[in-house]
């Protein structure tokens, strides 16, 4: 009986496998048919558009579907029929298909921009979905540009969508930018921002630049009107506003600082609005006179969420748009203009030596179930500490550590004198010789905290161990506890 039951189960498993294989083959065939149908639809639309252009003036310059789709914005006086025709013929490149690029692309596609290019080398992650509104759960692991274009085609199949599945590089930037009329900077790191702005100026492309972090955002329209380097009537560029990049160790990404979805969505929508204004303006000069260069600042929790700061014109000593320009297309493509060197390395350096650090696994094996109870200091902020923390850990945010006044350095390892220690150090830590382990989210802030405590003499001239858990809680999740919350 047992053998007969096993045979029956084997037959059932084999049958299910066969059904799954057949279903997967059918799904693959359907996807292939869909791809062919989409290609045919795009080709038909392009042929129809080309045919209409070839016939010369016609009674109706737009297709019936375009009147239905865009009628509500065409009756706005600032757009009109001529503005809609400009939108249809415009070619816009969005650098970045994330929190800024998704809403910007969505509204540009909805508005009827004729050609939309997206460049991004990243793939969709689950942590993106709360703010990057074009992506779907089913597309996790897929290239962001492909995921975004899939959604954009569902919204509006009429525009031409171009996918650039790579990160923007100096060698390729000029070649890509030449094919577009307007550039949107939807990135989140300084080196790429300078590259985008420099390339846009040298190729005569207006640039709409935005950024967002936590609950705040910024927006600028740069190089508008676009003029050659040395022409004082041109709009300022990114280097005119920020001649020097921020210190590399002060740059905080959304992954580290956090971001509220509607904040970055607001900035992306405003990018699309400014892009439409630039495209539909009667003339570049008219736009320049009506909209002087400005920096728009958004703060979600402020009683007045929007502020505008007037920007100066082009800087006389700007490295890219002045008569003394040193940045050229040749220096960009050849690598002579080194953006990583200019902005500083974004990879945090290791501040501690190997003997001052311990892996998450080694720590767990040394103190299983926190026995014997070690002194462990968690330097994440209070909000992150509430999300998840190690038992008996002490929360001292790194911001508190760095903002405290620096007392005179303790001498000869004397940490009993409380007057020589800042108030953020708990007495039970100061008056103990137990080893201290510092942990943070990724293993960067913890190193800074360890150095700070050693500067205060808490290591007792090397008699007391003070170090950090290498890799922080990301390493803890990978090496010790796979159920540890990933955020």
> How many other CB atoms are found less than 10 A from the CB of residue 412?
8
* Beta pairing partners, 438: 377, 468
CB 218 within 8 A of CB 210: yes
Mean pLDDT for the chain overall: 88
Catalytic-labelled residue, pool 237, 318, 321, 440: 440
DSSP 89-122: H-EEEEE--STTHHHHHHHHHHHT-SEEEEE---
Reduced to 3 states (helix: H, G, I; strand: E, B; else coil), residue 145 is helix
Find the catalytic residue in 186, 237, 240, 254: 254
The two three-digit tokens of residue 305, written as one number: 């969420």
Residues linked to residue 468 through DSSP beta bridges, in sequence order: 357, 438
Rounded to an integer, what distance in angstroms lies between the CA atom of residue 379 and that of residue 369?
A: 21
Order of strands, sheet of 294-299, starting from the edge strand that comes earlier in the sequence:
160-164, 115-119, 91-95, 182-185, 207-213, 216-222, 294-299, 306-310
Instruction: Check if the beta carbon of residue 82 is closer than 8 Å to that of residue 90.
Output: no
Cα separation, 203 vs 246, whole angstroms:
26
pLDDT at site 344: 81
User: In the structure encoding, which two tokens stand for residue 117, read together?
Assistant: 């290019």
Q: What is the pLDDT of residue 411?
A: 43
d(CA 68, CA 460): 77
237 is catalytic: no
Q: Which of 437, 460, 259 is nearest to 362 (CA)?
A: 437
The pLDDT score that the predictor gives to residue 32 is 57
Tokens 């929190």, residue?
99
Q: Identify whether 318 is a catalytic site residue.
A: no
Look-up of token digits 């003070």? 466
DSSP letter at 418 equals G
Say if CB 142 and CB 188 are below 8 A apart.
no
pTM above 0.85, yes or no: no
Query: Considering just the CA atoms, what is the radius of gyration of the chain in Å?
Result: 28
Q: How far is it, in rounded angstroms, from Cα 307 to Cα 309?
A: 7
Q: What was the pLDDT predicted at 16?
A: 77
Divide the 487 residues of the chain into consecutive groups of 10 and give the mean pLDDT of each group: 63 76 68 59 52 58 96 97 97 98 98 98 97 97 98 98 97 98 96 98 98 96 96 96 84 79 98 98 59 94 96 96 95 95 73 94 90 90 95 94 62 48 91 93 94 92 93 96 94
Nearest of 451, 442, 438, 436 to residue 472 by alpha carbon: 442
CA 14, chain centre distance (Å): 46
* Distance separating alpha carbons of residues 220 and 401, to the nearest angstrom: 35
Instruction: Match 């902005």 to its residue by tokens.
Output: 343
């Amino acid at each position: 009986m047992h053998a007969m039951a096993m045979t029956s189960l084997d037959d059932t498993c084999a049958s299910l496998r066969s059904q799954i294989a057949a279903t997967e083959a059918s799904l693959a065939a359907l996807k292939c048919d869909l791809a062919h149908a989409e290609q045919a639809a795009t080709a038909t639309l392009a042929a129809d558009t080309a045919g209409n252009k070839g016939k010369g003036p016609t009674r109706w310059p737009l297709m019936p579907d375009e009147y239905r789709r865009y009628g509500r914005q065409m009756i706005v006086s600032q757009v009109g029929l001529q503005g809609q025709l400009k939108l249809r013929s415009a070619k816009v490149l969005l650098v970045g298909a994330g929190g800024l690029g998704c809403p910007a692309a969505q509204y540009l596609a909805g508005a009827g921009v004729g050609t939309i290019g997206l460049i991004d080398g990243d793939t969709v992650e689950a942590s993106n979905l709360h703010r990057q509104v074009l992506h779907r759960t089913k597309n996790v692991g897929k290239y962001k540009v492909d995921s975004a274009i899939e959604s954009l085609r569902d919204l509006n199949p009429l525009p031409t969508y171009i996918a650039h599945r790579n990160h923007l590089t100096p060698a390729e930037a000029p070649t890509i930018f030449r094919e577009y009329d307007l550039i949107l900077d939807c990135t989140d790191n300084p080196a790429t921002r300078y590259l985008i702005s420099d390339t846009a100026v040298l190729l005569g492309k207006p640039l709409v630049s935005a950024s967002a972090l936590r609950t705040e955002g910024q927006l600028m329209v740069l190089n508008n009107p676009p003029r050659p380097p040395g022409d004082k009537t041109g709009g300022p560029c990114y280097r005119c506003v920020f001649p020097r990049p921020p210190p590399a160790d002060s740059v905080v990404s959304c992954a580290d600082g956090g971001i509220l979805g509607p904040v970055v969505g607001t900035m992306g929508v405003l990018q699309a609005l400014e892009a439409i204004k630039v495209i539909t303006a009667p003339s570049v000069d008219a736009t320049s006179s009506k909209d002087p260069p400005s920096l728009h600042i958004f703060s979600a929790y402020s009683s007045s969420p929007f502020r505008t700061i007037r920007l100066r014109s082009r800087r006389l000593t700007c490295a890219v748009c002045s008569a003394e320009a040193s940045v050229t297309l040749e220096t960009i493509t050849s690598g002579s203009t080194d953006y990583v060197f200019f902005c500083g390395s974004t990879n945090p350096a290791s501040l501690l030596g190997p003997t001052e650090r311990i892996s998450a696994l080694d720590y767990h094996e040394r103190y299983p179930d926190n026995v014997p109870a070690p002194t462990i200091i968690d330097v994440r902020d209070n909000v992150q500490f509430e999300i998840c923390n190690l038992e008996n850990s002490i929360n001292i945010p790194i911001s508190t550590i760095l903002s405290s006044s620096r007392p005179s350095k303790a001498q000869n390892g004397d940490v009993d004198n409380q007057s020589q220690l800042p108030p953020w150090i708990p007495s039970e830590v100061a008056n103990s010789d137990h080893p201290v382990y510092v942990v943070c989210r990724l293993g960067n802030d913890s190193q800074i905290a360890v150095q700070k405590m050693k500067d205060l003499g808490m290591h007792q001239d090397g008699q007391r161990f003070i170090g950090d858990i290498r890799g922080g809680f990301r390493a803890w999740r990978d090496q010790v506890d796979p159920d540890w919350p990933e955020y």
